[in-house]
């Protein structure tokens, strides 16, 4: 029997099909269901639907469940539909009828929505922290290897001199730009849907501004229909942010695989971080980076899956939306795994310092030679033709000194400016407000969120 059912139960086949994978995801939502319920209970007391004693009982019961979640002893019992029902069952079992009052003024729709918003907000924070760590490492590597020259490529053909400082710095700045999409996702996520009920409001005099403040949301989805329509839109924004970060990691992984190839030999990793062959003793395969490339390609495909799922869906709640969890929840976990593994691998990278001393790379300096002639007074077209003819005649013998000084070039990486961009981007995420609000909401409990 479900909490919302009055008499008969569903057939087991329907039950299994409609529940799907929800139980495994509901455990992840458990602490956030408690937080939403704490705020909702406090609001119900403020508008007179709970007495102060009833609020005290509910707070005590919810904090007990919070502690059990953090200790790993909370579980959704057999026959209980979902995490929301489990929390309400426990409150009613332990504290009587007051547990049955908690659902006043909310629907399962907005209860799930607020749980998801809080969960996504928490996950965004974890991902931002992982991005910060990788960014710091890339900036450090860029500074360390700023004078290590390497080939630059266009059309995968040798083009111009580059440097490892330039390469690492490029990936660092790309991470900053990814944060623009994370900021957009965070702004959608960090709005309160609680009080929208089934999508059309409630005849109770709910104080939605109060629950917004209690849960540390930066704003409110004011229109109750729009609050419900934010489910799906929220996941869409998240998927584009995930795909953007995955794209940066994908390029980093693809480059690394190429640079590890023996024909390049630009970088190496310790034997224990590569894999061998069953028949070729010399092999050092970049399996970690190949899997990073594959996983990040999967992540870059997620927005399309979500866009297709949301196609032709009218206003209001639809059960279709449940399946978004099957894309977004694993994607968030996979992106964190990819970020953390990238950090781990790059702590062990070794870089060849004398790549461009090989005469094989002499043509890389053709542009440098053209520019040198132009600086000496020769028109650009004439300089270009002269160098081209020297190359054809086999008399091209360039200087290998590189003198790039403009912003963002080999000799002026502007790492401090990229660092400033990162700090500005991070300041857009008001996690301090979240911390302060949640600490007040939890009150005396000494167990922080540990998932």
Mean pLDDT of the chain: 92
Considering the candidates 155, 263, 282, 406, report the single residue annotated as catalytic. Answer: 155
Q: Find the helix or strand (DSSP H, E) in which 162 lies.
A: strand 157-163
pTM for this predicted structure: 0.92
Please compute the mean of the pLDDT values over residues 3-24 and round it to a whole number: 65
Q: Which CATH number fits domain 12-101: 1.10.275.10, 1.10.630.10, 3.40.50.300, 2.40.37.10?
A: 1.10.275.10
Length of the chain: 451
Residue 281 confidence (pLDDT): 72
Please compute the mean of the pLDDT values over residues 211-221 and round it to a whole number: 96
Classify 214 as helix, strand or coil: helix
Sign of the torsion formed by the C-alpha atoms of 55, 59, 60 and 65: positive
42 in Cβ contact with 210 (< 8 Å): yes
Dihedral angle at the C-alpha atoms of 307, 308, 313, 315, nearest 10 degrees? 0
Please state, in angstroms and as integers, the Cα–Cα distance from residue 189 to each residue in 207, 220, 419, following that order.
20, 10, 26
Residue 450 confidence (pLDDT): 47
Mention the CATH class of domain 117-147+161-196+221-356+414-430: mainly alpha
Active site residue 263: no
Q: How far apart are CA 262 and CA 275, in angstroms?
A: 15
Considering the candidates 9, 277, 350, 399, report the single residue annotated as catalytic. Answer: 277
Cα angle for residues 113, 59, 193 (degrees, 5° grid): 20
Please compute the mean of the pLDDT values over residues 321-346 and round it to a whole number: 96
Going by DSSP bridges, is the β-strand pair 219-220/191-192 parallel, antiparallel, or unpaired? parallel
Q: How far apart are CA 398 and CA 373, in angstroms?
A: 11
Please state, in angstroms and as integers, the Cα–Cα distance from residue 297 to each residue in 100, 253, 290, 307, 341, following that order.
46, 11, 11, 17, 16
Answer whether residue 356 shows pLDDT above 60: yes
Listed in sequence order, the DSSP H helices in 145-163 are: none
Active site residue 155: yes
Answer whether residue 18 shows pLDDT above 70: no
Please compute the mean of the pLDDT values over residues 182-198 and round it to a whole number: 96
Give the tokens for residue 40.
């909702």
C-alpha distance across the termini of the chain, in Å: 30
Q: How confident is the model at residue 336 (pLDDT cuts 50, 70, 90)?
A: very high
Please compute the mean of the pLDDT values over residues 288-308 and round it to a whole number: 96
Domain range summary for the chain, segments of one domain joined by +: 12-101, 117-147+161-196+221-356+414-430, 358-412
Q: How far apart are CA 157 and CA 224, in angstroms?
A: 56
Answer whether residue 1 shows pLDDT above 60: no
Q: How far apart are CA 3 and CA 86, in angstroms?
A: 10
Answer whether residue 238 shows pLDDT above 70: yes
Give the tokens for residue 237.
């924004």
Please state, in angstroms and as integers, the Cα–Cα distance from residue 368 to each residue in 127, 314, 372, 384, 397, following that order.
41, 60, 6, 11, 12
Q: How far apart are CA 118 and CA 190, in angstroms?
A: 8
């Amino acid at each position: 029997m479900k909490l919302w059912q009055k008499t008969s139960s569903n057939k087991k086949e329907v039950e299994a099909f409609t529940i799907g994978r929800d139980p495994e995801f509901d455990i992840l939502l458990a602490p956030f269901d408690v937080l939403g319920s704490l705020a909702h209970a406090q609001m119900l007391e403020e508008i007179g639907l709970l007495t102060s004693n009833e609020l005290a009982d509910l707070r005590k019961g919810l904090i007990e469940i919070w502690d059990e979640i953090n200790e790993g002893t909370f579980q959704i019992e057999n026959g209980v539909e979902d995490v929301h029902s489990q929390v309400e069952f426990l409150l009613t079992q332990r504290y009587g009828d007051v547990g049955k009052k908690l659902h006043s003024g909310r629907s399962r729709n907005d209860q799930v929505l607020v749980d998801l918003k809080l969960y996504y907000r928490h996950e965004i924070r974890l991902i931002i922290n992982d991005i910060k760590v990788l960014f710091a490492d890339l900036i450090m590597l860029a500074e360390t290897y700023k004078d290590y020259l390497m080939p630059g490529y266009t059309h995968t053909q040798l083009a111009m001199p580059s440097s490892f400082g330039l390469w690492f710095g490029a990936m660092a700045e790309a991470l900053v730009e990814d944060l623009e999409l994370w900021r957009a996702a965070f702004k959608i996520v960090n709005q309160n849907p609680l009080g929208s009920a089934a999508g059309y409001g409630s005849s109770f005099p709910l104080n939605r501004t109060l629950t917004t403040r209690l849960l540390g949301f930066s704003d409110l989805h004011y229109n109750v229909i729009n609050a419900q329509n934010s489910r799906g839109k929220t996941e869409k924004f998240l998927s584009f942010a995930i795909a953007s970060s995955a794209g940066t990691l994908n390029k980093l992984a693809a480059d690394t695989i190429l640079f590890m190839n023996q024909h390049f030999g630009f970088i190496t990793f310790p034997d224990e971080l590569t894999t061998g062959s069953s028949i070729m003793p010399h092999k050092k395969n970049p399996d970690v980076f190949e899997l990073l490339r594959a996983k990040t390609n999967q992540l870059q495909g997620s927005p399309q899956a979500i866009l297709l799922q949301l196609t032709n869906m009218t206003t209001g709640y639809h059960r279709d939306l449940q399946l978004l969890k099957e894309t977004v929840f694993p994607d968030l976990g996979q992106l964190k795994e990819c970020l953390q593994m990238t950090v781990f691998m790059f702590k062990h990278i070794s870089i060849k310092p004398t790549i461009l001393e090989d005469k094989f790379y002499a043509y890389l300096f053709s542009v440098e030679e053209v520019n040198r002639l132009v600086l000496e007074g020769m028109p650009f077209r004439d300089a270009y033709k002269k160098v081209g003819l020297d190359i054809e005649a086999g008399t091209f013998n360039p200087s290998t000194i590189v003198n790039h000084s403009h912003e963002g070039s080999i000799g002026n990486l502007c790492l401090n400016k990229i660092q400033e961009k990162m700090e500005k981007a991070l300041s857009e995420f008001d996690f301090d407000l979240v911390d302060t609000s949640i600490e007040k909401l939890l009150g005396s409990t000494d167990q922080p969120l540990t998932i």
